[in-house]
Amino acid sequence: MTRSGVLAAALASAALTGCQGAQSAFDPAGVEAERVLTLFWIMLAGGAAIWIVVIGISYYAVKGKSGPYSDRSGIRLIVWGGCVFPVVVLAGLLWWGLTMMQELRRAADGPTIAVSAERFWWRVAYAVDGEPGVIRNLPRGGVPSANEIWIPLGKRTEILLSSPDVIHSFWVPPLAGKIDAIPGRVNRLVLEPTSPGVFNGACAEYCGTAHTYMGFRVVVVPQAEFEAYVASQALPAAVVDGPGAGLFLQNGCAACHTVRGTPADGAVGPDLTHVASRRTIAAGVLPTTVENFAAFIRSTEHLKPGVEMPGFGMLPDEEITAIAKWLGTLE
Amino acid sequence: MHLNVVITWKRLAGLAVLGVTGALMVGWIGLVSIAASAGHWSVTQWFLGWTMENAVRTQSMLISKPEEIDLDNPMLVRRAAGHYATGCASCHGAPGVPQSPVVEEMVPSPPRLEEKVAEWSDEELFWIVKNGIKYSGMPAWPAQDRKDEVWAQVAFLRALPEMSRAEYADLALGGGLADDELEAGGETMPALDGIVDNALTDCARCHGRDGLGRGEGEARHAFPVIAGQPAPYLYATLLAFARGDRQSGFMEPPATRYETEVLAQLARYFAAQPAPPGSSDEGVAARGPSGFDTSDEAPASAPPAVAADAVETLVSPTETRQDEAGVLEGEDDAGTSAVPMAAAAGPPASRDELLELGRRIALEGIASRKIPACRSCHGGTGRARNPYYPYLSGQPEWYLSEHLHLWKEGTRGGTQYTHVMAEIAENMTQEQIQAVSAWYAAQISVSR
């Protein structure tokens, strides 16, 4: 191998490591993502083969043959290569795609989870009943959470998706394709994970300044663990009083945030009843730590440009610290 | 005589250079008549006046008075009266207030406005008050975004020709001076030299010594209620006016007139005045009206838990269904009939519906429109409150609505907390602002 060959191989392998991980469609962990990946490879191989043949014919036409062509062979090439071949290939792909879609749209056999994509976070409700809820066309009630979706392994979980503001798109690349969250209607997406783990999701439709910072996590666990999780999320907060809780109410945090078990009943922003049990805060922006709670409260705009929550850096530092500590206890 | 001159580019350029040099020479020699004592030639005076009148006429063409503004409204007249005394009377005089011989020596000398306002249309007066007039000593309005204040000032100017000396003294000077002999310039800055009692007299000209705002009858709600507001809020607000963080042609001048220590004392004084009955709440009463430092005060104990039905509070009452395809069905939506959720929905049809919408915004908020309940910060029973959050009950409707609009437009500064309100007002529709302002204004009727 030449030196440049080694370099190219090293670069290529370095680049390919980007294809693995919690947010990669090349590292599928769900039925739909696997099919999408198969489809991608077949399309890539087919496209490459056709490209090579077309380039070969062009080369032959320009350089390979010096004599005149017969009309007959020219017409034959146009009819077979230009009409019959594309019709057959495209019809085959259409048929294949449609049958795949039918399979993917099979009814769910797992839980139904309502997800409302909002500038710039994800409102989640487990175990929803049939009534329309806060995002009036999504089902009401259920167990509220935010920015982290737990789903059972091997089950088909139905995600009901809508939005109160602008169009967003729900995408967990290792699990499935993306689907838009559209104000005024409910879209459905079925996630059928094939291996456990924590996967990254993102908003895949530009929705405003903080679009980049609108992430979430999907946690795939066995059915029993899933049920235990939802049951634990349904409980009121672990610690409902103390200085942090008092300051939370007094400074108006409760205008937007609910902490069940306290008078905090705001429904504008994420439910914080079990915020410390989630992996990230601010929709995938920061790992959940007391320091990060304090940092985010102090300067939301700095850590998540375009965020809707105003920063509260004008509060005395000891008040911010007390609130952050209290949030850290809400597991 | 006959001259043959060939015009060349070179000669034209030379002429231009000569012109500029000549003008500089005239300026440099220092013999230009700038003495006010010399006055203008009458032709110069005519030309300047004519130019000014044309400019005002042309440049005010695009101004139109907003429909909701009624210049005969005594409330608007009262709102702007105090500012006339401090900002205008010192040059233009006022009913019962002669012009000082000092200002009469200005060139041009400021006219008495009683005789002049009839010559201008409402829009032209608005233009002059807002923009001022260069080279005449007439200043622009200190807060260019506060069109509401400028219109109030125009309303005052319209009332001026008919105004008696006693009426003026009552409106602008706090009433107590009606029988006194008024000095030239009226009650102006020299009389208010930073002594707290004088400063208080200054505030009381508009807000009253009780902080409830002066004015009776139709002019009753001319001023926001400052009595019983938390002292830290009042102090921070006065500082915001003084620094120009909060814009107001009426309030910036008095806030810059006094030392910060005086402002702090004024804040404490008005915080200690009893709020109108029913407008305050236990939360504020428990904290006490004064005291700047909150860190040593214990937060209120958490009210009883609401675990069982807490989940339900996430949900707004609505009965909208959708068909299988996900499309909304019908408009029999209990939520939407009172609340225009969508931009296309009309405003509430009756006053009662409006107040009901206002009540809902104030007490529950509209979560799906990203409008939190006002009471979460601005008081509600039994809740402790950050002392930088004012109470709203009983504030004049125009005041709440005007300021929500200013926040919505991004031109309402204020204390270090002002950006929190901006984030909320941004999401409110005109109807929602109207409704919540009406509801809070109706929460109390100030009797005096």
- Asked if A185's CB is within 8 angstroms of B310's CB, the reply is no
- Asked if B302's CB is within 8 angstroms of A249's CB, the reply is yes
Chain A residue numbers with beta carbons less than 8 Å from the beta carbon of B282 are none
For chain A, give every domain's residue range.
112-234, 243-328
- Determine contact: A317 vs chain B, CB below 8 A: no
Q: How far is CA A25 from the centre of its chain?
A: 11
Write the pLDDT tens digit of every residue in A175-195: 999 999 998 888 889 999 999
Show Cβ contacts of residue B79 under 8 Å, excluding neighbours closer than 6 positions. Answer: B149, B152, B156, B206, B222, B223, B250
pLDDT reading at B297 higher than 80: no
| pLDDT (0 to 100) of residue B323 | 37
Residue A166 CA: distances (Å) to CA of A169, B315, B320: 10, 20, 20
* SS3 of residue A150 by DSSP: strand
pLDDT reading at B316 higher than 70: no
Q: Closest to A134 (Cβ–Cβ): which among B301, B305, B315?
A: B315
Residues 419-438 of B with CB under 8 A from A: 419-420, 422-423
| HSE value, Cβ hemisphere, 13 Å, CA-based, for A141 | 8
Write the pLDDT tens digit of every residue in B214-253: 988 888 889 999 999 999 999 999 999 999 999 999 999 9
| Burial label, A27 (beta-carbon count in 10 A; 0-12, 13-18, 19+) | middle
* SS3 of residue A281 by DSSP: strand
- Give me the CATH code for the A112-234 domain, please: 2.60.40.420
How far apart are alpha carbons A13 and A5 in whole angstroms? Answer: 12
- Determine contact: B331 vs chain A, CB below 8 A: no
- Asked if A260's CB is within 8 angstroms of B365's CB, the reply is no
How far apart are alpha carbons B237 and B232 in whole angstroms? Answer: 8
Chain A residue numbers with beta carbons less than 8 Å from the beta carbon of B301 are 241, 246
Same fold? A112-234, A243-328: yes
Q: Closest to A255 (Cβ–Cβ): which among B298, B333, B373?
A: B373
In terms of DSSP bridges, do strands A148-152 and A215-221 run parallel, antiparallel, or are they unpaired?
parallel
Q: Domains (ranges, CATH) in chain B?
A: 74-190 (1.10.760.10), 196-287 (1.10.760.10)
- Asked if A265's CB is within 8 angstroms of B326's CB, the reply is no
Q: What is the pTM of this model?
A: 0.83
Helix (H) or strand (E) holding B423: helix B418-425
Which one-letter amino acid corresponds to residue B77?
A: V
* SS3 of residue A272 by DSSP: coil
Dihedral sign from CA coordinates of B285, B291, B292, B296: negative
How far apart are alpha carbons B253 and B110 in whole angstroms? Answer: 21
pLDDT reading at B179 higher than 60: no
Which one-letter amino acid corresponds to residue B236?
A: A
DSSP B97: B
| Shortest alpha-carbon distance between residue A32 and chain B (Å) | 22
| Shortest alpha-carbon distance between residue B75 and chain A (Å) | 33
| pLDDT (0 to 100) of residue B380 | 58
Write the pLDDT tens digit of every residue in B354-397: 999 999 999 999 888 899 999 999 975 556 789 999 999 889 99
Which one-letter amino acid corresponds to residue A44?
A: L
- Asked if B368's CB is within 8 angstroms of A250's CB, the reply is no
Mean pLDDT, to the nearest integer, of A15-40? 87
Contact indicator for A215, A51 with CB cutoff of 8 Å:
no
* SS3 of residue B60 by DSSP: coil
The CATH architecture of the domain made up of A243-328 is: Sandwich (2.60)
Chain A residue numbers with beta carbons less than 8 Å from the beta carbon of B333 are 136
Q: Assess whether the previous peptide bond of B108 is cis (omega < 30° from 0).
A: yes
- Determine contact: A132 vs chain B, CB below 8 A: yes
Residue whose C-alpha is closest to residue B86's, from B159, B185, B157: B185
Q: Closest to B327 (Cβ–Cβ): which among A185, A255, A258?
A: A185
| pLDDT (0 to 100) of residue B326 | 35
pLDDT reading at B321 higher than 50: no
How far apart are alpha carbons B41 and A152 in whole angstroms? Answer: 93
Q: Closest to B307 (Cβ–Cβ): which among A236, A250, A310?
A: A236
DSSP per-residue codes, A19-33 = GSSTT-TTS--BHHH
Q: Assess whether the previous peptide bond of A296 is cis (omega < 30° from 0).
A: no
| pLDDT (0 to 100) of residue B299 | 35
